[in-house]
A = this chain, B = another copy of it.
C-alpha cells in the first residue's frame, strides 16, 4: 500500500510533471533486467569509493568502526547491530513520483480491458483518457481507489509475479532508466559496508512490503524477511485443495511517520542503532533510533543535485524534507549533501 497521507498531498506541479512523463513509461520495454551494480560495491581498500572525503563520509566510518571494533568503549555486540533504511528517496529515486504509484497507474491501463465500467468511472476514466492530472486531482480517495483496484483481488503469489514482470522492464519516465538501475551507488556501498561489519540491514519503507520484496534481494542483497513497509490485509483460503492468501481491498498497516517505530517494534523487535532516511516520513524512525542512547547514528539523504538526480526538500510534495531537516541539526544527524558528498549517484553515469 502507498503512503496515502503523503501521496494525497501531491500538488498540481508534481502531477503535471508526471503527466508529461507518464506517456513514455507506458511503452513496454523488452530489455531484460540488468545485473545489479551492487556486486561491484565492495572494493578492498576504500569501502565507500563513491563518497567524497569529508565530514559526511568520516562520520559514517567513525561510527561503524567504534561499534564494530572489539575493545572499543562503544563496542556493540553483533546481534544488536541493526540498521534500518527507508527506501524511496533513500535507496532509490522517488521522482517524479513514487515508483509504486507509477506502477499502479500503469496497471490500471493494463487491466482496463477487464473493467469496461471504468470508462465511465473516476478516477479511472480520466486516467484511461491520458489525463493523469484530472485523475489524481481527486486526492487521497482517488489514489486509494487506484491502489485498491490494482493491489487487491489476486493471490499474494499472483501479485508477486505482476510486480516482478513490471519491474523487469519499467523505466523512470524522466531519466528513461530501469527503476532498479536508479538505486544510489553510494547507498549500495553503505549497505555492503555495514553488512561487512556484521550489521543486519533492514528496509523500513512507507511503500508496500509486497511491492518491494520481489526485487529487493536481487538489487540490495536484503532478503524478504528484512524488508517491510505498508501492507494490505490478506485472507487464507483453500481453493480446490490448494491454500492461497487472497489480497483484500483493505489497509492493514501504514508504515510511515509514527508508524515506522511501530513497524520496527512489530517486525524487528529490537531498536536499531543506525537509521537512514530522507524525508519527514523518516523523522520518527530517526528519533526512535537515536534519541536518548548512544552510540547511535542517524543519517538523512538531502537531495541537492538537480543535475544528476533532483534537488528538493522543504517544499516538495514527494519526499518532503522539512521538520526532519531541522531535527537533524538539533540531533546532530549526518546530512548527506548529494551534490557534494557523492562523486557518483547512479551506476549508469559512467
Contact = CB atoms under 8 A, between A and B. Distances in A.
Given A217-B79, A243-B287, A262-B245, A270 B225 contact: yes
A269 B227 contact: yes
A241 interface: yes
Nearest to A293: B242
B235 A258 contact: yes
Nearest to A210: B269
Given A156-B265, A266-B209, A236 B284 contact: yes
A328 to B, nearest CB: 15
Given A217-B79, A225-B200, A234 B265 contact: yes
A332 to B, nearest CB: 14
Total copies of this chain within the assembly: 2
A224 interface: yes
Most-contacted residue by chain B among A209, A223, A228, A265 (CB, 10 A): A265
Interface string A223-267: 111111001011110100111010000001000001101100111
A245 B287 CA distance: 12
Interface of A: 79, 82, 156, 200, 202, 209-210, 213, 217, 223-228, 231, 233-236, 238, 241-243, 245, 252, 258-259, 261-262, 265-270, 284, 287-288, 291-292
The 6 closest A-B pairs by CB, nearest first: A224-B269, A236-B258, A213-B269, A243-B287, A225-B268, A236-B261
9 contacts: A200-B225, A225-B270, A236-B262, A236-B288, A243-B284, A243-B287, A243-B292, A245-B261, A245-B262
